[in-house]
Amino acid sequence: MIAADVRNNSAWNQRMFALKGKAGVEGVGRDVTREELAMARAYILCAPNNEAPWAYVSGLAGVVVLPEGDGGVGRATAALASIAQFGDLAHEVGSDG
């Protein structure tokens, strides 16, 4: 649904709902986080003024957990590390237009 209409806020919300359901208490690991961030980044570049993918990235902070054995240190730190790359993206798309 997102591929057909990147501005479909309901589709973004449904994707987050499904991801949170999949994550459960344990959270989402590194591979899923990378895939979700790459997907969001691609759609941000397609429509940088659309707030839905930006909100999706922000929402990932609540579901990302890298377990201790995976080099992670818990939900908040892992989320911030994963999402930090989007500051540069915001600057990049902001300077284009």
- What's the pLDDT tens digit per position in 43-76? 998 998 899 998 898 888 767 665 555 555 555 4
Strand partners, 28: 64
Residue 3 has pLDDT above 70, yes or no: yes
What's the pLDDT band for 29 if we cut at 50, 70, 90? confident
For position 10, what pLDDT does the model report?
96
Q: Hey, what's the torsion of the CAs at 38, 44, 50, 53, to 10 degrees?
A: 10
Residue, of 88 and 4, whose pLDDT is higher: 4
Q: Supply the pTM of this predicted model.
A: 0.70
Percent of the chain with pLDDT over 90: 23
Residue for token pair 């987050």: 16
C-alpha closest to that of 43 among 54, 30, 31, 34? 54
For position 65, what pLDDT does the model report?
60
Indicate left, alpha or beta for 27 from its phi (over 0: left) and psi (-120 to 50: alpha): left
What's the pLDDT band for 94 if we cut at 50, 70, 90? low
